[in-house]
Amino acid sequence: MMHSERAKQIFSDEIHELQQLSQQIGESFDRTVEAIYDCRGKLVIMGIGKTGIIGHKIASSLASTGTPAIFINAAEAVHGDLGMVCREDIVMLVSNSGETNEILSVIDPLRKIGCRLIAMTGDEQSRLAKSCDIVLSMHVDREACPLGLAPTTSTTATCMMGDALVVCLMEKRRFRAENFAVYHPGGALGRKLLGRVGQHMQQYVPRVQTTTPLRQLVLEMSKGHMGMTMVYEGETCRGIITDGDLRRAIEHKPQLDVLVAADIMTPSYKRIHRDALMSDALELMDKHNITTLAVTETEQSTPIIGILSIHHIIDFN
């Protein structure tokens, strides 16, 4: 068998196991999310070896998306690092077998500290599982390794379970891109959201007149590549037409050939001035469930000097 064919089979095997695992997710996952969300302290993830590496990744992802979390190597925990754990914390112990000595050795000290314990394990009957308050199963029937020994599918399952926790907690906290910017000031998106609207707006403003026929306004919207156009009466802006307005017109208005911009436009539109923070612009879009903002020179002025689209913000290139 060619290596590429073998690789495809490994992908297929792991996907099958992950699909089986997804069917097991239920009440214990709900309890885990709620417990972490309600935690007055931080989430401490402990692991060792390859699952420890995944645990470190999960902690980093949680910390960068609004959930206070740290990783402690279980072997280091019994040599002083338990001093970083407080009574208000929740500790998630990660072990596929649930019988790892370094993991088991921290349970009694953690109980004395008084924090709550969550097991992330592949064996719900293990000593680890029986010692914790909540058990999050990541059981898979077999590893992709032909010997069934090297952690392969099980580490993928651990990572996937961690990703599910991260996303669910992000959604529960309503973690938005402007929050992301605060935690990632050195990243491309962070730098962008901490910049000014004027740096990222499009100076070209798609515009039609209130009397512009449907076909012509569609051409103008396509020309701007922003899925919208401003609607003017002379030199005065009267409204906006978005892709959504256009779809609703096509669905509900008869005789499309006689429609003009004034028949389709939304009279009100949101605007922001060029010196505002990009994070403020995104918050305004999020609040009103819109994807574009008209940009003015100052907060008080009304002439439109540019357009800011969500695509200018969520763009990692």
User: What confidence tens digit (pLDDT) does each residue in 154-209 have?
Assistant: 999 999 999 999 999 988 888 766 556 555 555 555 556 667 888 888 889 999 99
* Structure-block tokens of residue 156: 């993928």
The amino acid occupying position 61 is S
**How many whole angstroms separate alpha carbon 47 and alpha carbon 76?**
10
Mean pLDDT of 290-314: 85
**pLDDT at 130 (0 to 100):** 95
Delineate the domains of the chain, giving CATH numbers in brackets: 3-175 (3.40.50.10490), 191-313 (3.10.580.10)
- Residues 238 and 268: beta-carbon distance below 8 Å: no
**How many whole angstroms separate alpha carbon 56 and alpha carbon 65?**
14
**pLDDT at 316 (0 to 100):** 40
* Structure-block tokens of residue 178: 């402007």
**DSSP bridge partners of 273:** 296
**pLDDT at 96 (0 to 100):** 92
Q: How confident is the model at residue 48 (pLDDT cuts 50, 70, 90)?
A: very high
State yes or no: pLDDT of 258 exceeds 90. Answer: no
Phi-psi bin for 227: left (phi > 0), alpha (psi -120 to 50), beta? left
- Residues 194 and 277: beta-carbon distance below 8 Å: yes
For 234-255, the pLDDT digits (tens) are 999 999 998 888 888 888 777 7
Straight-line distance from the first to the last Cα atom of the chain, in angstroms, rounded to the nearest whole number: 38
